[in-house]
Amino acid sequence: MTEPIVNNLTIQAATVNGSGSQTANLVLTRAIFHMGIPVAPKNVFPSNIEGLPTWYQLRITPQGYMARSDRVDILVAFNAATWREDLKTVRPGGVVIHEESYSTADARTDVVYYPVPFAKLAKAKIASDTLRKQLANMIYVGVVAGVLGIPWESLEHGVKRQFLAKPKAVQVNLDAIKVGLDHYQDTFSKQDAYRLEPMTGAVEGKVLVEGNQAAALGALMGGVTVAA
């Protein structure tokens, strides 16, 4: 393993629109921000049609850079249809967390693979048939947390903040994250250089907002009083 790469990486989750991945990605974003680390999320999708590909990129830098990066350090591959193309985006020495059933025959040899049986884990550990697909995404949050060393208290904060209006959903989502975290810790030894460490002074006095929210706040600060 090379010299540690701390708090300076790009995560890209390649998933399927309508699968619940957006919620999982927001939980991961909030957990990283809770560690005091600047994080800039970007959602990329060709349409809002359920079942089509969607990508979510988290750029993590001590300086708080917000632009998308063309360098993917950690890929979460959760879409069989785009698996081969997504794999090409990972930088040499990067990490690939993928559904175990995806073929790695003739795949790249210059990246670190963490194959995870997400479908099997979801079927075995998540009792609700209606929630299984959505909660499977939370399992990959747990795996990413294991790879990067995200503290459990930050994961708890991310889930509770995401489900402020649905407190009954908190525990079932935390349980799903724990499934992924436990699987990583029980199955793998760390083979990559990436990790996250708590920071101080980088995000104090700041909040996470979406673009529309930022635009609305800017309009209010600019003196707008009525919008129709």
Q: Taking the alpha carbons of 118, 124, 126, 131 in that order, is the dihedral positive or negative?
A: positive
pLDDT tens across 124-173, in order? 998 888 788 788 899 999 999 999 999 999 999 999 999 999 999 999 99
Q: For position 210, what pLDDT does the model report?
A: 83
Report the amino acid identity of residue 48. Answer: N
Provide the 10 A C-beta neighbour count for residue 88: 9
Q: For position 18, what pLDDT does the model report?
A: 75
**How far are the Cα atoms of 96, 98, 219 from residue 119, in angstroms, in the given order?**
17, 11, 45
Q: For position 228, what pLDDT does the model report?
A: 66
Alpha-carbon gap, residue 152 to 157, rounded angstroms: 9
Give the domain ranges of the chain. Answer: 5-202
Q: What is the mean pLDDT of the chain?
A: 92
| pTM recorded for the entire structure | 0.92
| Candidates 3.40.920.10, 3.40.190.10, 3.40.50.2300, 3.40.140.10; CATH matching 5-202 | 3.40.920.10
